[in-house]
Chains A and B, each alone.
Chain A
């Protein structure tokens, strides 16, 4: 736990340090001028003092450049222009700026003998936005999420301690998970841990690994991480399908879950809350793993087969139609995406969901190991102490014991 904590600190601090740089040139409280409506006639169109002030203001707010609304530029690309046989110059009816805006916003027809779907995108306008997101908020907030989760689990362990089996041990065990169920669990778990470690390496390697071990040290780690991440993903997807079909019926919410949630799962205080094979907390984790894992799989497949599975333009279109972005104060989401932008959205979404799932899995690993006495046996051996089952899954335990003790059934011992 301590090693993992230090490891994540080493990952996150450089990213924080990078983002913490700011330029404090003009007094706080100054108003940023609108750079698009500046009068530059005095300088013949060259940058003015107001341009410099706007840039400084933007830097104070943590940006490299003032945020510009490119909508008018994107709409004013001049079209193809008149033929050059007309008296308009070498570009026909289009000016240089119009041509470059057309290239930048991918709005003029470009033909090439290359077959690739991204071959006609000469300038990828969304690239820097993606790069800043990946190097900034994704690393910082993702790293903070994992560190805070670990800190909260450590705090919980200090306050609550290990959840012990309260009653006397019976020496008898109940079969909790069959071999194929444990196989499916460990296939998913083992591949997820490998994916999480290699995913963190890929995201943080440049800022955390290279300063410590150098570029030559990082290269084989990066290659190995890519190989593992691309290939073990299939084991994760197979495991995900297995656990879905094995446990979906037992994870459908019912009225017992409301009681369990209302009493906080009995984590604090005396007594235990009745539960079936899976309590409400386990059901929440199950559905987070299934839905989050499915989302990770789809966005991962989109990156695994570049440009073959674009999905964000259509998803954004649906969200716009439902009015969801507008509901939270955003404008309509972009629906005219270049192939590269589709990939970039997949990567950002993949990272966000992966961080969220990793935080949840930290809690799952904690409760299944050091957090609760007897819990590991369920997945380690498949059989649990009868007293543990009665305390934590009383409804399920009573049913299993009634079946076992029914006349005609062989005793478990």
Chain B
């Protein structure tokens, strides 16, 4: 059972790491779909 719960916790940890990676990977719609010249931020 310990191994099972450790695996579930690891899945959640991997998910959080994945979210951080997405945020920093430059794959947002803004970064992929538009040039800097057409964005106001």
Q: Which residues of A come within 8 Å of B, CB atoms? A: 113-116, 119, 179, 182-187, 189-191, 194, 227-228, 230-236, 238-239, 305-307, 379-382
21 A-B contact pairs sorted by A residue (CB < 8 Å): A113-B35, A114-B34, A114-B35, A114-B38, A116-B32, A183-B7, A184-B7, A186-B3, A186-B6, A186-B8, A189-B7, A190-B7, A227-B19, A230-B18, A231-B14, A231-B18, A232-B11, A235-B12, A238-B14, A305-B27, A380-B1
Q: Give how many B residues have a beta carbon under 8 Å from the other chain's beta carbons.
A: 23
State whether A191 and B34 are in contact (beta carbons under 8 Å apart), knowing that A186-B4, A305-B27, A380-B4 are contacts in the complex: no
Judge whether B3 and A119 touch: CB under 8 Å. no
Judge whether B33 and A115 touch: CB under 8 Å. yes
Q: How many A-B residue pairs have CB under 8 A?
A: 77
State whether A115 and B16 are in contact (beta carbons under 8 Å apart), knowing that A183-B6, A191-B11 are contacts in the complex: no
Contacts of A231 in B (CB 8 A): 14-16, 18-19, 22
Contacts of A189 in B (CB 8 A): 7
Chain B residue at minimal CB-CB distance from A178: B3
Using A114-B34, A235-B15 as known contacts, list a sample of 11 further A-B pairs with CB atoms less than 8 Å apart, ordered by residue number in A. Answer: A114-B38, A116-B34, A119-B33, A186-B3, A228-B15, A231-B22, A232-B14, A234-B18, A235-B11, A306-B32, A380-B1
Judge whether B33 and A179 touch: CB under 8 Å. no
Contacts of A183 in B (CB 8 A): 3, 6-7, 10
B17-30 vs A, CB cutoff 8 Å, 1 = contact: the mask equals 11100100001000
Chain A residue at minimal CB-CB distance from B11: A235
Judge whether A190 and B11 touch: CB under 8 Å. yes
Chain B residue at minimal CB-CB distance from A229: B15
A232 to B32, CA, bound (A): 23
A116 to B32, CA, bound (A): 7
Interface class of chain A by DSSP = helix
Contacts of A228 in B (CB 8 A): 15
Judge whether B15 and A234 touch: CB under 8 Å. yes
Interface class of chain B by DSSP = helix
A306 to B28, CA, bound (A): 10
Chain B residue at minimal CB-CB distance from A307: B32
Judge whether A115 and B3 touch: CB under 8 Å. no
Name the residue among A186, A228, A236, A382 with the largest chain B CB count within 10 angstroms.
A186
Judge whether B11 and A113 touch: CB under 8 Å. no
> Of B1, B3, B10, B35, which is within 8 A of A235 by CB?
B10
A238 to B11, CA, bound (A): 9
* A296 shortest CB reach to chain B, Å: 16
Judge whether B32 and A187 touch: CB under 8 Å. no
* A194 shortest CB reach to chain B, Å: 7
Judge whether B3 and A232 touch: CB under 8 Å. no
Chain A residue at minimal CB-CB distance from B37: A113
A119 to B35, CA, bound (A): 12
Contacts of A307 in B (CB 8 A): 32
Judge whether A194 and B11 touch: CB under 8 Å. yes
Contacts of A227 in B (CB 8 A): 15, 19
Contacts of B33 in A (CB 8 A): 114-116, 119
* B27 shortest CB reach to chain A, Å: 6
Contacts of A379 in B (CB 8 A): 4
